[in-house]
């Protein structure tokens, strides 16, 4: 059902026998609800399309500009079997590694999206932490305090991309917990902007931009400089950490846990 914007017309008609409310409703049908914001989605291509589907029919006018592409990295899959616990901070690490996991391993996931990817591959021994790495690290430490390690302490493995926001190796090791890391994918910055992105940025019609990683924020800044575009201060950012927001220190930002927070955003 199309939502309507209620505007009072200058005249309800000259026929006194016609119900005024009926004439009003006829005129209101000409005025569909205006978009409340223009959102530039910057996730990798497949993720951008998936998120755009969720936002279809909302008040957002959408533009997609992937800032990073994802490519797998070569790694030794046999090493994965050596660990009792595996940490995933992105679904992009789950996809190339799922074949080499076993059902006995405990999978620690940042956010519901990453956990769902593990579940879709048939795994059920999953612990889901908050949508940020620090929250998951604290949850791991809190749970381990309650466990009895009379036999053998768990060994953790962080499967990740080359850029990370939280160093689980150092964070867990400082509490006496063994943790290794294997890089299984890399993110490659885009070096051009789409023509539609250029147009809306130059016209200053973008009201909000999603930036879910530090590298994507740095890539956007580099592209803006390349095209000599100054991002208006009125443009607001959806970010997942203070570090990401610091790339654009003068802009208003909204700290989110994951993309679903944007679905409930109030203008």
Q: What does the pLDDT read at residue 259?
A: 83
Final residue of a structural domain among 165, 187, 209: 187
Beta strands 106-110; 236-239: pairing state: unpaired
Q: b/e string for 228-260 if b means 16 or more Cβ within 10 A?
A: ebebeeebbbbbbbeebbebbeebebeebebbe
Summarised one tens digit per residue, pLDDT across range 62-92 is 999 999 999 999 999 999 999 999 999 999 9
Task: Residue 228: give its domain's CATH number.
Answer: 3.40.50.10090
Under a CB-based contact definition with an 8 Å cutoff, are residues 129 and 106 in contact? no
Q: What does the pLDDT read at residue 253?
A: 96
Summarised one tens digit per residue, pLDDT across range 187-228 is 999 999 999 999 999 999 999 999 999 999 999 999 999 999
Determine phi and psi for 96, rounding to 5 degrees: -80, -10
One domain for residues 82 and 183: yes
Residue 123 lies in a domain: yes
Residue 235 lies in a domain: yes
Final residue of a structural domain among 159, 187, 215: 187
Q: What does the pLDDT read at residue 35?
A: 54
Q: What does the pLDDT read at residue 151?
A: 63
Residue 7 lies in a domain: no
Q: Which tokens is 123 given?
A: 């795994």
Q: What does the pLDDT read at residue 11?
A: 42
One domain for residues 74 and 62: no
Q: Can you give the residue range of the structural domain that contains 141?
A: 70-187
Low-confidence ranges of the chain (pLDDT < 50): 1-18, 21-33
Tally of domains in the chain? 2
């Amino acid at each position: 059902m199309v939502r309507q914007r209620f505007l009072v017309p200058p005249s309800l008609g000259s026929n006194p026998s016609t119900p005024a409310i009926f004439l009003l409703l006829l005129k209101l049908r000409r005025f569909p609800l205006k978009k409340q914001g223009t959102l530039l989605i910057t996730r990798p291509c497949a993720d951008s399309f998936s998120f755009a589907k969720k936002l279809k029919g909302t008040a957002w006018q959408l533009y997609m500009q992937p800032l990073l592409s994802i490519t797998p990295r070569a790694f030794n899959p046999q090493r994965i079997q050596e660990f009792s616990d595996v940490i995933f901070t992105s679904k992009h690490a789950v996809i190339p590694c799922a074949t080499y996991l076993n059902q006995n391993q405990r999978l620690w996931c940042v956010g519901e999206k990453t956990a769902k990817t593990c579940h879709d591959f048939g795994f059920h021994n999953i612990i889901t932490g908050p949508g940020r790495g620090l929250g998951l690290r604290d949850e791991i430490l809190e749970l381990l305090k309650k466990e009895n390690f009379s036999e053998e302490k768990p060994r953790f493995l962080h499967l990740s991309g080359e850029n990370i926001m939280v160093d689980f190796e150092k964070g867990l090791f400082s509490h006496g917990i063994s943790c290794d890391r294997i890089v299984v994918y890399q993110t490659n910055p885009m070096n051009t902007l789409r023509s539609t992105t250029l147009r809306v940025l130059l016209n200053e019609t973008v009201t909000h931009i999603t930036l879910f990683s530090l590298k994507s924020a740095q890539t956007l800044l580099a592209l803006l400089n390349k095209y000599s575009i100054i991002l208006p201060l009125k443009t607001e950012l959806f970010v997942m950490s203070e570090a990401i927001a610091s790339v654009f220190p003068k802009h208003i930002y909204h700290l989110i846990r994951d993309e679903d927070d944007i679905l409930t955003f109030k203008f």
